[in-house]
Copies of this chain bind each other. A is one copy, B any other.
Amino acid sequence: MKINDLDLNSLLAKSVRESVSANVPKVVSEAYVAEPKSFKQVTEFVSQKSKDLHTDLYKGYVESLNNVSAKLDTANKSASNPRHSEFRSLKLDEAYNLNAVWLHELFFANCFDPNSQITMDSLSYLKLQRDFGTFDDWQKDFMAVAMAAGNGWVVCGYHTFLRRYVNMIVSHHSGDVMLGVFPVVVLDMWEHSYTRDYLGDKKNYLMAQMKEFNWSVIEDRFKRAEAIAGAVKS
């Protein structure tokens, strides 16, 4: 069969799909509905006003995500194109708001622990040491990525292709993202996170957050990441 011999009307694996279509009830909706979760932001490093602002912004993303998800359910897929189409706009906004929701939840959960403690025999400690040389080197790299991020995020996660932990920038919520990274440590570097309390002193904000990382929450994520690592290798 040569190029251009394709019959556009011949459906792929047609017979298989037809027999299935007959038997499987059509799913009415693929939309996922998210509910905003509650997070204790027990810290003196962030003012109550900033905490409330941040919670409101997070709720806004949950609401937008639900809107986008519902609209995707009925969007016209056959009119999809890269210049201007409802489907394209919705897919871009889906990635943006979905990441925003998840990143905020990861961030709220792994920060604000006044009793922050990491032990040398934890998975967190050992894996970061393995992949960055020392825990200190990981911290320095994490800080450098945070300082480079602009309005965005610094994310440490397990890279399922490199099979190691990496620190990465996320620009805004969905820009410059490494594919296939399972996040373990997340810090918000958008200006709304620190301007109220630290003005332009981003470094002080960063240090304060890192002093209060909840290593117990993070350790749970490392356990999952290591299970993922096992799954990937198998």
Contact of A103 among B85, B179, B228 (CB under 8 A): B179
Contact of A60 among B11, B19, B83, B169 (CB under 8 A): B83
**Contact (Cβ within 8 A) A3 B45:** yes
A149 at the B interface (CB under 8 A) = yes
A108 at the B interface (CB under 8 A) = no
Counting contact residues on chain A (CB < 8 A from B), the size range is: 35 or more
A41 at the B interface (CB under 8 A) = no
Chain A positions within 8 Å of B, measured between CB atoms, are 1-4, 6, 8, 11-13, 16-17, 19-21, 24, 26-27, 30, 32, 44-47, 49-50, 52-53, 56-57, 60-61, 64, 67-68, 77-78, 80-85, 87-89, 91-100, 102-103, 117-120, 129, 131-137, 139-141, 143-145, 147-151, 155, 157, 160-162, 164, 168-170, 172, 174-183, 190-192, 195-200, 203-204, 207-208, 210-211, 224, 227-228, 230-232, 234
Q: List 14 A-B contacts (CB under 8 A).
A: A3-B45, A6-B207, A11-B136, A24-B129, A67-B84, A77-B144, A82-B149, A83-B96, A87-B144, A102-B161, A157-B180, A174-B178, A179-B183, A228-B231
